[in-house]
Structure 1
């Protein structure tokens, strides 16, 4: 069965839309939402991330790759991913891209910080990788939709602190996923 373009990419488009929605709400609520409330949003998203992480990690115990245990395989994947990210200088490239966007769109203040922080938060992690694979290969956007909801709330909180640069991370989400 061949999947339509929408079936293969719907999770990404939903995620891009929720990042933009969260940024819009964050800009609208910016001066109405106290720092403590933004912190509560961030803590709630962080707690949910931990719960999902533990649930996903639990599946490592079921994996066997020959003599290698799933937990060790997970550790190797994390270390390899971290080293590769450092080697190809992901953060430096995002900062450069953020500075370019800031100049192009006459962004002010903490534009680049917001762009980089949101891009890293929204694009680095197993939900991004596994969700994109599930969506692209079998048309299941469940994981990306869950991630999109979390990203929307995170965008509200981040926009209150960093401003419009957070919204431009939707470009990174689109490219990565």
Structure 2
């Protein structure tokens, strides 16, 4: 049985706000709930700042509890480290909503590497340079399901799961098979 140490990183950078709700890994009917945010932000979520600090607040609207991120010229994220078998629990599900996308964003260039939201799944390796990541992004222009290398990290691939303004302002549920995505992207099994 292979063990995967995955680090989920929510990168929230859009001017305005983004909301993240429910992070789950699952196999069939079996689930590992990472967080439903029902009781606030779990202390296992840690903050990582890249440029300035995004303001994260726990919010509730009706029955939905979520994290709201407000950003203005900042880039930071929340990360959660979890160990599990990605082959046994290949699916990750999350819900997100962005109010805006960044008009100048362009996934194909370093200067345009800016998104309303992204979810990183990081697969650490013993040697740092062997660490790999899949970045599920809400792209600005990139077509949905397009996969391209990250402008900053050779072992990191961007997957456009949402794109453009059409779905902004709506809660979108995403489910990805990270095991199959990893195999398709890196042509090997996850570590």
Which category describes the TM-score, using the shorter chain as reference length?
under 0.3
Larger helix fraction of residues: 1
Q: Which has the higher relative contact order, 1 or 2, with Cα contacts under 8 A spaced 6 or more apart?
A: 1
Query: Could you state the TM-score of these two structures normalised by the residue count of structure 1?
Result: 0.24
Larger strand fraction of residues: 2
